Amino acid sequence: MPRDEPSILVVDDVPDTLEVLERCLTAAEYRVHTASGVVEAIEFLEKAPVDLVITDLRMPKISGLNLVRYLRENLKETEVMMITGYATVEGAVEAVKAGAEEYLPKPFTEDELTAAVQRVLKKRQMRLLARQAPDEVAAPAGIIGESAAMQAVFREVAKAATTDATVLISGESGTGKELVGRAIHYQSSRASEPFVPINCGAIPSELVESELFGHTKGAFTGATALRNGFFQAADGGSILLDEIGDTSPSTQVKLLRVLEEQEVYMVGSSQPTRVDVRVLASTNKDLLSLIKKGTFREDLYFRLSVITIALPPLRDRKDDILLLVTHFARKFADQAERPTPEFTDSALQVFRRYAWPGNVRELLNLVQRLVVMQEDARRPFDVPDLPRHMRFSVNRGAGPLQTLAEVEAVHIRSVLASVAGNKTQAAKLLGINRKTLREKLKSLETSAGE
Ligand SMILES: Nc1ncnc2c1ncn2[C@@H]1O[C@H](COP(=O)(O)OP(=O)(O)OP(=O)(O)O)[C@@H](O)[C@H]1O
Ligand SMILES: [Mg+2]
């Protein structure tokens, strides 16, 4: 056997298990070592680090979790895979959180074992390659953003892409959750397999099960032929369960089973079908409060949130607004075969100040509408071109709470700016007479000078 075959240390307190694993992995041409406990394993690793450690979770003296933590602290190049008893879901989640790359529930077949080992070693290779790349994380294809908040997201995406763990992507509507799910898939080792996004909230509840898991011929009236579901379609790839918070209790139970056993039951069949699907989920709801209300299963939540990525609302990444506006303006102008439009500084100020309740989607739609409706391509877009609700908006969400007088002052100034300082028009929009406006402006000037 060549010297550069990957090396594996197997740790288990049961001699029989050690022997079976050793035989199977040696047959698959790995260099295999064994240890019967955590201490013996650490002693071995201090002398001879290996590429992969496969450890049992439950061992009499010291839990395998401690070995995982030791490796993550001390031997960052070594991958870990955990073998768990079937009943310990929390243990498995904990193992992955502690840094185990994979967990394999017992009992497993030799094929399942070698497939998992191959997966982990491939990820290790990708990770080692990625480490040679410079520090600055490039934005994944199709995602615009340079703000610190988005840089952090890109780093999490890159990390999530090197594992097979479930990822829960949260964030307000239109913040780019689907885009992030897509990026994780296309950066992962499953990139050449399908990516299947599904909006769980949009499927009528009575159809969810057959849509997700498929149905057999004759499963129900109208089921004239066997039909695969989204899970079968995603086999080998990733599935994105969007609006996961909207799923019914019975669908939640079924999803939990898929996550635990990697197998699905087609509607009308009592035989499970094995699927190899990486599950990503997204939500714009606060799942923890749904758990408190009793409408979302806690065990499913923990299964889904092995890795969590929270997308910040657009108003918390103002540095990206200009970038996004320019990007979409160019994109839609190109599509319409027109020159890329410009925006005045005051218009861009309004963009920055606005609270963007619909986030990037709202910004995208607005820029598209502006470009499509534009009459004179040479004139830059200015404040009066923007929708009323934006021109007069004050972002009350940002910064410390303001007094009524401060809010009034900001509002008066933004209304005035939107009509280029025309007091008659401003007074009309504010619903006060010119005299009152003049008095208010005078007192604003005095207080500004204080
Ligand atoms: N950072 C970004 N760069 C470029 N385009 C973006 C970005 N974020 C979002 N978009 C675009 O905005 C639109 C909404 O994004 P996406 O569908 O990913 O949001 P979402 O969070 O899944 O929204 P919802 O909660 O409504 O499902 C898409 O057209 C997407 O391409
Ligand atoms: Mg979405």
Q: Among residues 284, 310, 336, which one ends one of the domains?
A: 310
CATH code at position 433: 1.10.8.60
Mean pLDDT of all residues in 303-330: 93
Please choose, from the candidates 356, 366, 367, 364, the residue with its C-alpha nearest in 3D space to the C-alpha of residue 313. 356
Distance CA 247, CA 136 (A): 38
Mean pLDDT of all residues in 120-135: 74
What interhelical angle do 38-47 and 64-74 show, nearest 10? 20
Which band of pLDDT confidence, cut at 50, 70 and 90, is reported for residue 222?
confident
Q: Report whether pLDDT(137) > 50.
A: yes
Domain of 64 in residue numbering reads as: 7-131
Q: Which residues pair with 11 in a beta bridge?
A: 35, 55
Same-domain pairing of 340 and 440: yes
Q: Ligand 2 centre and the CA of 342: distance in Å?
A: 30
Mean pLDDT of all residues in 231-249: 94
Same-domain pairing of 152 and 300: yes
Mean pLDDT of all residues in 216-230: 91
Quick one: which atom of ligand 1 is closest to the CA of 181?
18
Cβ 310 under 6 angstroms from ligand 1 = no
Q: Tell me which residue has its CA closest to atom 24 in ligand 1.
A: 173
Highest mean pLDDT among 53-57, 98-102, 104-108: 53-57
Q: Tell me which residue has its CA closest to atom 29 in ligand 1.
A: 361
Q: Among residues 291, 310, 329, which one ends one of the domains?
A: 310
How far are the Cα atoms of 295, 417, 426 from residue 385, in angstroms, in the given order?
Answer: 44, 13, 16
Q: Which of 86-90, 239-243, 379-383 has the lowest mean pLDDT?
A: 86-90
Q: Which of 23-27, 97-101, 171-175, 377-381 has the lowest mean pLDDT?
A: 97-101
CATH code at position 305: 3.40.50.300
User: Would you state the pLDDT for residue 19?
Assistant: 94
User: Would you state the pLDDT for residue 317?
Assistant: 93
Distance CA 423, CA 15 (A): 88
Cβ 174 under 6 angstroms from ligand 1 = yes
Decide if 116 is inside a domain: yes
Mean pLDDT of all residues in 206-235: 92
Same-domain pairing of 58 and 26: yes
Distance CA 325, CA 145 (A): 11
Beta strands in 12-50 (DSSP E): 31-35
- pLDDT (tens digit, 9 = 90+) per residue, 384-423? 899 888 876 554 444 444 567 767 887 888 788 777 788 8
Which band of pLDDT confidence, cut at 50, 70 and 90, is reported for residue 136?
low
SS3 309: strand
Same-domain pairing of 59 and 154: no
Cβ 284 under 6 angstroms from ligand 1 = yes
Same-domain pairing of 350 and 306: no
How is the beta sheet containing 52-56 ordered, strand by strand? 31-35, 7-11, 52-56, 79-84, 102-105
- pLDDT (tens digit, 9 = 90+) per residue, 329-386? 999 999 988 888 999 998 999 999 888 989 999 999 999 999 988 888 788 999 889 9
Same-domain pairing of 80 and 120: yes
User: Would you state the pLDDT for residue 280?
Assistant: 98
Q: Ligand 1 centre and the CA of 428: distance in Å?
A: 38
Q: Among residues 310, 345, 380, which one ends one of the domains?
A: 310
Quick one: which atom of ligand 1 is closest to the CA of 182?
18
Decide if 138 is inside a domain: no
**Cis-peptide, bond into residue 107, ω within 30° of zero:** yes
Cβ 185 under 6 angstroms from ligand 1 = no
The string over 181-192, giving b where at least 16 C-beta atoms fall within 10 Å of a residue's C-beta and e elsewhere, is: bbbbbbbbbbee
Decide if 207 is inside a domain: yes
Same-domain pairing of 275 and 254: yes
Mean pLDDT of all residues in 33-46: 93
Number of domains in the chain: 3
Residue with tokens 């908040």: 149
Which band of pLDDT confidence, cut at 50, 70 and 90, is reported for residue 132?
low
- pLDDT (tens digit, 9 = 90+) per residue, 151-160? 999 999 999 9
Cβ 176 under 6 angstroms from ligand 1 = yes
